[in-house]
């Protein structure tokens, strides 16, 4: 929907507050959305940025997303969603100096490690095929400042203690999630059913945040 039409589908609820109501455009079950000032939100999930598109663009976007998800399901051997208890337990999470949380901006959980730390997951593979590791990051992540310390996001990614990549996060794609796909050489998977995927930080650095980890059977990115 064009910018000049916004007043047709978003209305202020009354003259005494900064609360607005949308028409049920592009929402499932014909649901309306209530908009309130950011300073009134406490301990709630929220969105600040929306995509604005007309009906044709929206339908095209839905078709593209459906195709992406179908392909992702087809090529995925195993998946871990960081910060979710059951997936991390099922994949035998091990960690040291590791932290996790939820980022409302992208509606996704994350995990990192800081200083001399790490976190790892045991993940399934297909020993008959070349495997790839697909990792999702947040494009606004840069130097981490916490508790009076600074950590450069510069870390190693390992498969069964063998480093396959070094990754740096320096505001690579601000405001959005993005994927990086790493090849896992056949010698690291041959005759195995599982491998340990480890994200390792060192003194003065941080590993992650990592927003998604997948083992896939072909090289691809989806963000």
Number of domains in the chain: 2
Residue showing tokens 């990086």: 180
Q: Looking at the structure, do residues 51 and 125 belong to the same domain, yes or no?
A: no
Asked if residue 180 is part of any domain, the answer here is yes
pLDDT top residue among 196 and 8: 196
Q: Looking at the structure, do residues 90 and 180 belong to the same domain, yes or no?
A: yes
Domain end residue (candidates: 51, 69, 87): 69
Q: Looking at the structure, do residues 81 and 190 belong to the same domain, yes or no?
A: yes
Give the rounded percent of residues in the chain with a pLDDT score beyond 70.
Answer: 83
- Each residue of 126-179: pLDDT tens digit? 988 899 999 999 999 999 999 999 999 999 999 999 999 999 999 999 989 999
Q: Looking at the structure, do residues 125 and 159 belong to the same domain, yes or no?
A: yes
Asked if residue 222 is part of any domain, the answer here is no
Contact 200, 112 (CB under 8 A): no
Terminal Cα-to-Cα distance of the chain (whole angstroms):
24
Please report which confidence band the pLDDT of residue 104 belongs to, taking 50, 70 and 90 as the band edges.
confident
pTM, to two decimals: 0.75
Q: Looking at the structure, do residues 62 and 85 belong to the same domain, yes or no?
A: no
d(C-alpha 26, C-alpha 10), whole Å: 13
Please report which confidence band the pLDDT of residue 211 belongs to, taking 50, 70 and 90 as the band edges.
very high
What's the half-sphere exposure (Cβ side, CA atoms, 13 Å) at 29? 2
Domain of 50? 3-69
Asked if residue 24 is part of any domain, the answer here is yes
Please report which confidence band the pLDDT of residue 1 belongs to, taking 50, 70 and 90 as the band edges.
very low
pLDDT of residue 8: 72
The DSSP bridge partners found for residue 98 are 113
- Each residue of 46-68: pLDDT tens digit? 555 566 666 676 665 666 677 77
Q: For strand 149-151 and strand 154-159, is the pairing parallel, antiparallel, or unpaired?
A: unpaired
d(C-alpha 93, C-alpha 36), whole Å: 38
Q: Looking at the structure, do residues 123 and 190 belong to the same domain, yes or no?
A: yes
pLDDT of residue 2: 47
Q: Looking at the structure, do residues 96 and 51 belong to the same domain, yes or no?
A: no
Nearest CA to 167 among 132, 209, 123?
Answer: 209
Element (H, E) at 100: strand 94-103
- Each residue of 82-94: pLDDT tens digit? 999 999 999 999 9
The DSSP bridge partners found for residue 51 are none
pLDDT higher than 90, residue 72 = no
Asked if residue 157 is part of any domain, the answer here is yes
pLDDT higher than 60, residue 44 = no
**Mean pLDDT score across all residues of the chain:** 87
Nearest CA to 92 among 216, 211, 197?
Answer: 197
- What CATH number did the domain enclosing 164 receive? 2.60.120.260
């Amino acid at each position: 929907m064009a910018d000049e039409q916004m007043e047709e589908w978003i209305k202020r609820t009354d003259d005494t507050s900064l609360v607005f109501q949308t028409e049920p455009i592009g929402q499932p079950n014909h649901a309306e959305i209530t908009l309130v000032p950011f300073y009134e939100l406490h301990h709630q999930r929220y969105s600040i940025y929306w995509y604005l598109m007309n009906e044709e663009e929206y339908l095209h976007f839905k078709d593209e997303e459906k195709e992406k998800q179908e392909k992702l399901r087809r090529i995925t051997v195993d998946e871990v969603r960081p910060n979710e208890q059951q997936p991390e337990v099922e994949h035998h999470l091990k960690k040291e100096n590791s932290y996790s949380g939820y980022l409302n901006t992208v509606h996704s959980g994350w995990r990192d490690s800081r200083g001399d730390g790490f976190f790892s997951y045991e993940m399934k593979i297909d020993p008959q095929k070349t495997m790839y590791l697909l990792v999702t990051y947040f494009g606004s992540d840069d130097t981490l400042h916490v508790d009076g310390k600074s950590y450069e996001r510069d870390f190693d990614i390992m498969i069964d203690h063998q480093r396959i990549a070094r990754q740096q996060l320096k505001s690579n794609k601000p405001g959005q999630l993005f994927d990086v796909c790493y090849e896992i050489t056949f010698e690291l998977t041959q005759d195995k059913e599982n491998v340990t995927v480890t994200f390792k930080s060192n003194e003065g650095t941080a590993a992650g945040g990592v927003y998604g980890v997948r083992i896939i059977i072909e090289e691809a990115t989806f963000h």
